[in-house]
Amino acid sequence: MNSSPEDRRSVRVGLAYDERMCLHATPDGESHPENPERIRAIWRKLEAEGIPDRCILLKIKEAEDAIIASVHTRNHIKLIRNISSKEFDSRRLRIASKLNSIYFNEGSSKAAYLAAGTVIEATENVANGNLDSAIAVVRPPGHHAEANEAMGFCLFNNVAIAASYLLNERAELGIRRILIVDWDVHHGNGTQNMFYSDPRVLYFSVHRFDFGSFYPAGSDGSHCMIGEDQGVGYNINVPWEHGQCGDADYLAVWDHILIPVAEAYNPDIILISAGFDAAMGDPLGGCCVTPYGYSVMLKRLMKFSDGKIVLALEGGYNLNSLANSVFACAITLLEGSPIVGNFEGRPFESTWRVINEVRNELKTYWPVFSIDLPEEILIANVKRYPIQAGINSSSDSDVEKDLENSNAINFSSNNDVGDLILPLSKLKVDDGDFGELSPLRSQQNQPAPSEAYENPKEVTTETCNDLFHWRSSLSKVDVWYGSYGSNMWKPRFLCYIEGGKVEGMRKPCRGAMDKTPPKDISWKSVPHRLFFARSYTDTWGHGGVAFLNPQSSINDKSYMRIYRITLEQFNDLLIQENVTTEHFESPLVDSRDIEFLVKSSFMSVESIKGGWYSNILYLGEQDGIPILTMTCSVSDVEKFKSGELPVCAPPKAYENTLLKGLLEGTELSSEEAIGYLKDAAARNL
């Protein structure tokens, strides 16, 4: 901070802020983490430190619809443009309630257009050389906003709009490759989806994932999501397994993933989705990054793209840590070096595991990852996480989009950030309806913002101990899991145990907490009818998936591959198959339930009632060990028969996986296996 006046003039750092973005606020004045004080606190800190005097202040203007339309649909633009008008006064709350973690008021439209316009202005001035770098202090944030949907406090996807503008509207500036670094603690699902097939944008996100249960929940933030078509390899997710990750963890990722791939990619400009909710003390993030850590991460990126970097504010809900972190980044851009500081500690053991998983997933596309990390690094630089609080959640494998729900409670043992880290999906306004909303993201029956944010359910260390007591107990009990669908193919089944995906799957599984492979594998036939029903799954696309009629008949015969696993693993499999991100303090199925199953043959699991595979069947024993499988309820079968629920042939990728599974056994020839599946798809229930 002792640079000369000449040095200060030679570095052209843009700074953008507009008080009008504070017009966006909760309609009833209730407290909410994403509030106007966020950017006011930043601006007060920067002014107190004299930062605006050292920067070039940018003139702010609203984004144009034509530019926003490069990443958002017309319907979405129309909604955001008109939502603050008087004609929407009576509907505004109902519309917001249909969206995931969104509120609207009379100032929302103005703020959203200004936020997008500010990031465009900052990005364009850095790209054309008028500025060396820039900071856009904006709200509402943007990286969760999908093409046709506002979500996660985000209305327009500010960074995505700016990136698309450079690539598609300002080609003369010579920007051919854009690196988007998203260090917000939440995964930027919207940004990822907008550029998932586009190699001109390398999207990198480091975020809490908690095995898919941390907001925005689901599998989008998995390390397996690496892009598709021409964009394969250009989407990089680094998903933390838990909270408490700090400077050492983030810088390990910089050293072993981001910096090597940035050197290979050689971006023309870097856009940072600069959320500061991974900062120490943030009420939503539960991580421990310091202002010094952010300044070092930024400094290490400044050697690329001739220092052309734009920081656009995303999250960050502790006003002190937010303001201090933005200030640290401003000093780093102005003075060319990080703020004074140091960090202690080592990365978590899980950090190295995640780093290795990411590198292995991407090494086909980035040869720099083909070199294994030195063993001495993995041994010497590791600390253990005291409580593995993340529980495995839905794989999205066999459930339609309209059943996906993100109501997980995620917790950290770090008392500095509180006992409970609420997902953004808990922060809602009243129920209602509006137009063409995506069923995947719509949320129902959520508490109002103040209810969810100020009165969280306490999750204690005793709760954690209870959680892992049942896991320890059930890890000693073996069962046979009977698979009659895609899990007959062993590599597909192992996705539920180890995590990941295989050929034909559109979305990955999270995996079980215990990743031990099955102890034994066998085959069995059962007197139950195999059929295909439903019409869409996130994993396989359009088409039906396999079910067994829970009622047996001597006239039916279905083939089943059985895996000997623990009852703990069976519970994790049950959770994934039924697409729930709920944390369970007790098992869904325990030893007493098996005793009941032996007597009654099947049992509905009440805590996941409504899931497609919530009905557990007992199919006898093998080697004195019970055989269990899961299928639909008897009432669902009646709905399939009546046409209330669709019966549908399987999609090709799913059918091929079933064939692979059947042919791994010796029960059927290729012709017989094909005939078996076609008969199951064609025969009426």
**Catalytic residue set:** 144
H/E stretch holding 491 reads helix 490-498
Measured at the alpha carbon of residue 24, what is the angle toward residues 19 and 27, in degrees to the nearest 5? 140
Q: If you ran DSSP here, which 8-state letter would residue 64 be given?
A: P
In whole angstroms, give the CA distance from residue 302 to residue 331.
Answer: 13
Eight-state DSSP code of residue 91? T
Burial 384-409 (b: 16+ CB within 10 A, else e): ebebbbbbbbbbbbbbbeebbbbbbb
* Six-digit token string for 266: 């050689």
Count CA atoms within 13 Å of residue 271 on its CB side: 35
> Are 124 and 170 within 8 A, CB to CB?
yes
Q: What length does the chain have?
A: 685
Q: What are phi and psi of 97, to 5 degrees?
A: -65, -20
Cα separation of 213 and 218, whole Å? 7
Cross-strand pairs, 240: 208
Report residue 61 as tokens: 């203007």
Q: Which residues is 631 bridged to in the sheet?
A: 615
Cis amide prior to 140 (ω within 30 degrees): yes
3-state helix, strand and coil shares in percent for the chain, rounded to the nearest 5:
40, 15, 45
SS (H, E, C) 366-420: CHHHHCCCCHHHHHHCCECCCCCCCCCCCCCCCCCHHHCCCCCCECCCCHHHCCC
Whether residue 600 contacts residue 628, with contact meaning beta carbons closer than 8 Å, is answered with no
CA distances from 412 to 26, 285, 316, 572, 598 (A): 28, 9, 17, 21, 39
Closest CA to 676 of 542, 481, 488: 488
Region of 578 please: left (phi>0), alpha (psi -120 to 50) or beta.
Answer: alpha
Instruction: Give the pairing type, strands 625-631 and 478-483.
Output: parallel
Q: Which CA distances in Å does 407 have to 384, 444, 513, 549, 566?
A: 28, 10, 20, 30, 27
Amino acid at 601: S
Q: How many CA atoms lie within 13 A of 272 on its CB side?
A: 31
Angle between helices 291-301 and 319-335 (to 10 degrees): 30
Q: In the structure encoding, which two tokens stand for residue 661, read together? A: 């599974």
Beta carbons of 127 and 269 less than 8 angstroms apart: yes
| Cβ(99)–Cβ(150) below 8 Å | yes
Neighbours of 308 (CB within 10 A): 21
Alpha carbons 275 and 42: distance in angstroms, whole number: 13
Candidates 213, 467, 278, 244; CA nearest to 350 is: 244
H runs (alpha helix) in 175-280: 189-194, 247-253, 259-265
Neighbouring CB atoms inside 10 A of 135's CB total: 27
User: How many whole angstroms separate alpha carbon 343 and alpha carbon 292?
Assistant: 8
DSSP 509: B
